[in-house]
Amino acid sequence: MKLYRDEAVVLRTQKIGEADRVITLLTRTSGRVRAVAKGVRRTTSRFGARLEPCMLADVQLHRGRSLDVVTQVLTLAPYARAVADDYPRYTAAAAMLETAERLTPEEREPATQQFLLLVGGLRALVGPPHAPVRRPPGLVLDAFIVRSMAVAGWGASFDACARCGEPGPHRGFAVAAGGAVCRSCRPPGAAAPAPESLQLLGALLAGDWDGAVASTERDRREASGLAAAYPQWHLERGIRSLPLVDRTPEAPPAPDGRQPDGGPPDGAPHHGAPDATEPEELAAVAPLLDRLPPQPPPARAAEVVRS
């Protein structure tokens, strides 16, 4: 069938012609798809705003020879608005979208787990409208990176030695070896992060958000460096958005409970941002960032096989 529908997250847009755009989508069943959205740059476009990066939509496409054609779009969750209103969220979301695109190199190759993980990551990044405390965007990004790598088949070990499997914790971390390494297996040039930094990465991988949020800024900076280096080494390609991520520590709430930007107290109704509606099947998997992927990361780098 040349006409088909799928749920998709908009990864990237590119101008083409006078009023068209090429939209890169990560779909639930068809993997990464590139399609032409005709006339979306005109002010009279019916669905131009629905095809912005970070938008979750139900898209109808017509299959073409090289590029598909977008014929209909239905918004499922308007994450783009909440992301664009906050600079740290925006930079973290841009890195997440680029990482998801890098981890799906083949077009039309199904990547359902990556799609669900990206949806869960965007939902965790934005947070529920009335959430009393939101998760730091930098931690959400690091959690998304380590879990996406595990889903793609490059799971890192943050406790046991990635080469011999000796139980940890260990002081060495070798990106090329697959994670933490013991003293015997430690190659020259391996990093020596603090044990708390590796514990933080392990907590992000396992979904222990209480332990992750309680970490110090020093541990977060060191863990983010390791998390950024790991995919770029194995993908053999840089992720351009990562150096631009804003990891400025957030100021604590005021004594009266108000947010640093002068917003209402935590837990108070927020009238500016609309509630992000999602279908029931997506709402059931949205907290995907709160648990491990179905397959645990391997203990040894030699056992890592690209799925």
pLDDT digits (tens, 9 = 90+) for 81-96: 889 989 999 999 999 9
Over residues 104-122, the mean pLDDT reads 93
- Does the domain formed by 81-246 have CATH 3.40.50.970? no
Q: Locate tokens 């590139």: which residue? A: 34
**In this structure, what token pair is assigned to residue 267?**
């837990």
Per-residue b or e along 56-77, where b marks 16 or more CB atoms closer than 10 Å to that residue's CB? bbbbebeeeeeebbbeebebbb
Percent of the chain's residues with pLDDT above 70: 79
Over residues 9-17, the mean pLDDT reads 93
pLDDT bucket at 158, cuts 50 / 70 / 90: very high
List all residues 6 or more positions away from 60 whose beta carbon is below 8 Å from its beta carbon.
Answer: 3, 4, 5, 70, 71, 72, 73
CA angle 4, 26, 236 (to 5 degrees): 140
- Residue 224 pLDDT > 80: yes
Instruction: Please state the pTM of the whole predicted model.
Output: 0.79
pLDDT bucket at 251, cuts 50 / 70 / 90: low
Least confident of 169-173, 187-191, 226-230, 286-290: 286-290
Domain segments of the chain as ranges? 1-77, 81-246
Q: Locate tokens 């190659």: which residue? A: 187
Over residues 44-69, the mean pLDDT reads 90
- Residue 284 pLDDT > 80: no
Higher-confidence residue: 232 or 249?
232
Higher-confidence residue: 248 or 217?
217
Backbone φ and ψ for 60, nearest 5 degrees, come out as -105, 130
Assign 42 to helix, strand or coil: coil
- Residue 2 pLDDT > 50: yes
pLDDT bucket at 133, cuts 50 / 70 / 90: low
**In this structure, what token pair is assigned to residue 37?**
């959205």
In words, the CATH class of domain 1-77 is mainly beta
Average pLDDT, the chain: 82
List all residues 6 or more positions away from 225 whose beta carbon is below 8 Å from its beta carbon.
Answer: none
pLDDT at 263: 47
Q: Which of 141, 56, 52 is nearest to 95 (CA)?
A: 141
pLDDT at 220: 94
pLDDT bucket at 35, cuts 50 / 70 / 90: very high
pLDDT at 1: 62
List all residues 6 or more positions away from 30 whose beta carbon is below 8 Å from its beta carbon.
Answer: 4, 6, 108, 110
Over residues 242-257, the mean pLDDT reads 70
- Residue 47 pLDDT > 70: yes
Instruction: Give the CA radius of gyration of the chain.
Output: 20
